Amino acid sequence: MDELKIDRAYVQDITEDPNDAAIVQTILSMARHLGLAVVAEGVETLAQAEFLRDNGCHRYQGFLYCRPLSASDITRRILPATNDSGLAMHGPPGDAPESK
């Protein structure tokens, strides 16, 4: 085991509920002492991300960063768009390099 995830149930109220904040701080402290990476799930607000960052968590998952995507949406975001000739397009259509 080299990674620990903090469930969204603890993350969702860390800025309002002192008990959830204490639980998350304890998890982060334990993970540091054990040399484990930590991922916080369900991060939806900047305040949650700042709390986690300020307490030593630097990996997050949640709607603050991206809503769930379909496989085709992920592919479109990750792979560069190509035109009919197979050349990568880096600008609006028509700005692709011309073949000589």
**75-86 average pLDDT score:** 66
Write out pLDDT tens, residues 31-73: 999 999 999 999 999 999 999 999 999 899 888 877 777 888 8
pLDDT reported for residue 32 = 94
Neighbour count for residue 25 (Cβ, 10 Å): 17
Amino acid identity for residue 30 in this structure: M
Please check whether residue 57 is in contact with residue 29, taking contact to mean a CB–CB distance below 8 angstroms.
Answer: no
Paired residues of 88 in beta bridges = 82
Residue 12's contacts (CB-CB under 8 Å, 6 or more residues apart) are 20, 42, 44, 48
Q: Write down the pTM of the prediction.
A: 0.67
